[in-house]
Structure 1
């Protein structure tokens, strides 16, 4: 009798072990596009804390240095999900039925430090001490049709400066823009606060304004995937967004709302540092990440009105077709929109 029970127990243990091993091996492999910026922290947190694994996802990161190449990678199927700014390239791919925006990520929010408008020390000394003095001065962007292009024109529009009178300098990569600004090869740029603060601290760059004063409520980055995944694998999208949202909640609680306590803030900063400026000492990087933390939308909610404004601007600049609609660009069925 005892031997029989023992045998059954051993068989049950073996079955559980096999089942667990099978579940682990069945984790769905996906690639997630990212930039090594603090604004991508929710993905890093979700990975490090097992939130993706909890959703049955085996994540591999694919790193990019600009938004448009990530959109191309999503469309080609080389990457499954991306988190980055809306670009002309992304919109054109959406019109072709290749990609869909499925949620929101980084956003400008009143009362929280947001993206900074910067100028080189040389330009500042020449009198560019406020955005109103940008006329005739160069502005760095990664590519034509990037979010930097959009910001430059929105700043010019509000200041009453013809967009053509702020020369744009496409430099392809964020690192190249940073180098050009520090050396005075370009006059101005706008970027997330943790990078901006590090540059200002170098003494070679000056802050002259905030993007939020020119684009209130700006949905800076969005979550997107291929149109095929959005339509044919909705469960995968839901699982990805659930894990990403959990990472965003940790980030916001630790560094934006500061409701999680100092120990948690320190833990989150240590985690982010593994992916952001890992070649620099933690003591140097952490203060800028902490003070420059921007809101990541809870539950990946999407500011649809901001996305509509961005689409309208790209159309006004003739970078995308007038025939593309917001429904071609966005699938609003996965998250709350406002």
Structure 2
């Protein structure tokens, strides 16, 4: 199993920042930022912690155990709509890099009927993607299949390995690549099945952001520096080594994971941009799949859920990127 925490040696007088994420390939910029000293250079002592499901991640942000969390931004919408908490998305990231995997004996969506779909939490993010994809193929949750909340990607893959009745899961690297190697079948990438979607990102409590503006701006600037560093061709071998060591991957799976992270149409968005249309798709899926109306409906992406002031201030601190691959917006948008 990957380590449950990672931190650079604390610099004298450094500001501590507690960050929650999942131990997936998408945590690579955080790991690089710690290892290469990008956070330390900005006066930050960053520690990473992991939880096995998004509910625990959200609870730790709400309680103040985490300052920032990097998971699917649908969870930020859930915190507003279901928990009544004032959270704000401050950074984009990616489309999810997700694929819909099924057991080897299943040759289409109809083969899921009567079985389980394993998810993180049943009412957020990639579970809602799965529900919409299956609805598009004539299958309804509760009638044709059940949702089983087992937790993060590694646990979903383990569940599919342990029991063939766990028919399907949405997975991203490295677990999607490991699933492929184990003989599980992909029925397609979620961006191909659903279109553009703002999945990964970072969010915080709004009051914390206001009280810690400088700390947050420095954090975002260091994260962007790390993201740019890992994009440079000369650094790719090192990135593969970090993935191998931190996630206990084979060199082959690590290299293929990195290739997906750097894919301009599937991986990280340039400078972790937020895709407004993709965020609207998040809100649309919640409206389409929710069993009950939200207690506090989220407003438009340009309103209270996204605040790019901190991101823009972070970008202003950086030099223009050098030798960075040319990208169009993720998902071809």
TM band (smaller chain) = 0.7 to 0.9
Cα displacement (A) at 1:45: 1.0
TM-score by length of 1: 0.78
Alpha carbons of 1:283 and 1:24: their partners in 2 closer, same or farther (altered >3 Å)? closer
Alpha carbons of 1:67 and 1:250: their partners in 2 closer, same or farther (altered >3 Å)? farther
Q: Is the 8 A contact 2:244 2:251 kept in 1?
A: no
- Which of 256, 262, 270 matches 1:298? 270
1:182-224: CA deviation from partner (whole Å, max 9, x where unpaired) = 1313101111143112122123x22222211122222221111
Q: Is the 8 A contact 2:196 2:277 kept in 1?
A: no
- Which of 161, 168, 177 matches 1:188? 168
1:138-171: CA deviation from partner (whole Å, max 9, x where unpaired) = 2111212132211112212433433443421222
1:206-244: CA deviation from partner (whole Å, max 9, x where unpaired) = 222221112222222111112122222222221111111
1:287-308: CA deviation from partner (whole Å, max 9, x where unpaired) = 3423433522223311122222
- Which of 264, 271, 274 matches 2:245? 274
Cα distance in 1 for partners of 2:155, 2:100 equals 17
Residue of structure 2 equivalent to 1:312: 284
Q: Is the 8 A contact 1:198 1:288 kept in 2?
A: no
Residue of structure 1 equivalent to 2:295: 321
Greater CA radius of gyration, 1 or 2? 1
Cα displacement (A) at 1:135: 4.2
1:52-83: CA deviation from partner (whole Å, max 9, x where unpaired) = 11111111111122223212211211111111
Cα displacement (A) at 1:50: 0.8
Cα distance in 2 for partners of 1:49, 1:291 equals 21
TM-score by length of 2: 0.79
Residue of structure 2 equivalent to 1:332: 308
Q: Which runs of 5+ in 2 are unaligned?
A: 1-9, 313-328
Following superposition of structure 1 onto structure 2, how do residues 201-216 of structure 1 map, counting pairs within 5 Å? 201-203=181-183, 205-216=184-195
- Which of 196, 218, 229 matches 2:197? 218
Say what the alpha-carbon RMSD is for the aligned residues. Answer: 2.6
The structure whose residues are more often helix, as a share, is 1
Following superposition of structure 1 onto structure 2, how do residues 14-53 of structure 1 map, counting pairs within 5 Å? 24-53=11-40
Q: Tell me whether 265-274 or 152-161 shows the greater mean CA deviation.
A: 152-161
Cα distance in 1 for partners of 2:203, 2:218 equals 14
Cα displacement (A) at 1:319: 6.3
Following superposition of structure 1 onto structure 2, how do residues 1-338 of structure 1 map, counting pairs within 5 Å? 24-87=11-74, 90-95=76-81, 96-107=84-95, 114-121=97-104, 124=105, 128-131=106-109, 133-164=111-142, 165-183=144-162, 184-203=164-183, 205-251=184-230, 253-254=231-232, 260-261=233-234, 264-277=235-248, 280=249, 282-283=250-251, 285-293=253-261, 294-316=266-288, 317=290, 318=292, 320-321=294-295, 323-326=297-300, 327-335=303-311
Q: Which runs of 5+ in 1 are unaligned?
A: 1-22, 109-113, 255-259
Cα distance in 1 for partners of 2:281, 2:199 equals 12
For residue 169 of structure 1, give the secondary structure of its aligned residue in structure 2. strand
Q: Is the 8 A contact 2:89 2:203 kept in 1?
A: yes
Cα distance in 2 for partners of 1:171, 1:304 equals 30
Q: Is the 8 A contact 2:153 2:175 kept in 1?
A: no
Q: Tell me whether 128-137 or 219-228 shows the greater mean CA deviation.
A: 128-137
Alpha carbons of 1:93 and 1:116: their partners in 2 closer, same or farther (altered >3 Å)? closer
